[in-house]
């Protein structure tokens, strides 16, 4: 995929697209207006246990993608790994531990052409390029290992 190529996700029932940004990399955008509480994605997860993650995963690119999970760390398959961070997110996520899924739901109405973003929490490992950098506390929902471990 070249940097400016748009991938239309035809298999998805919502009109979502992956677009690339020179700083943030790939991100998820909507081509249609979405109302609050719309389920935009269900991602099955791949679970790495604590030992496996500590020995291997954390030394790889996985460390930029994995969510803290009961018993280890989880890689969201599908679009779940493509949501960029915004400190005022328009999408929330809910871990379904027994079913090993993450559900992503809109937190407000979202206009056509907006990027869909989640919050990674307050402990970022990169310079935040989101538009509104107001800090919000989301301690209960720190998705990434850096956020949980590096204090």
d(CA 118, CA 111): 16
Identify which of residues 38 and 81 has a Cβ nearer to ligand SAM in the complex.
81
Q: Which residue is nearest to ligand SAM (CB)?
A: 25
Cα separations in angstroms, 97 against 79, 94, 125: 18, 9, 26
Contacting positions for ligand SAM (CB under 6 A) = 23-27, 64-65, 81-82, 84-85, 126, 128-130
Identify which of residues 127 and 151 has a Cβ nearer to ligand SAM in the complex.
127
34 exposure class (CB count in 10 Å sphere: 0-12, 13-18, 19+)? buried
Identify which of residues 12 and 24 has a Cβ nearer to ligand SAM in the complex.
24
């Amino acid at each position: 995929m070249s940097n400016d190529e748009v991938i239309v996700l035809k298999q998805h029932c919502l009109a979502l697209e992956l677009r690339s940004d020179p700083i943030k990399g790939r991100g998820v955008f909507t081509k249609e207006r979405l109302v609050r509480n719309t389920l935009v994605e269900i991602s099955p997860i791949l679970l790495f246990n604590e030992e496996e993650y500590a020995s291997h995963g954390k030394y790889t690119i996985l460390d930029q993608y994995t969510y803290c999970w009961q018993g280890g760390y989880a890689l969201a398959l599908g679009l779940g790994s493509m949501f960029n961070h915004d400190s005022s997110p328009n999408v929330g996520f809910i871990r379904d531990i027994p079913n090993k899924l993450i559900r992503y739901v809109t937190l407000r109405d979202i206009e056509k052409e907006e990027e869909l973003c989640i919050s990674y929490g307050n402990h970022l490992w990169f310079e935040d390029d989101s538009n509104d950098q107001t800090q919000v506390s989301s301690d209960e929902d720190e998705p990434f290992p850096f956020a949980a471990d590096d204090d």
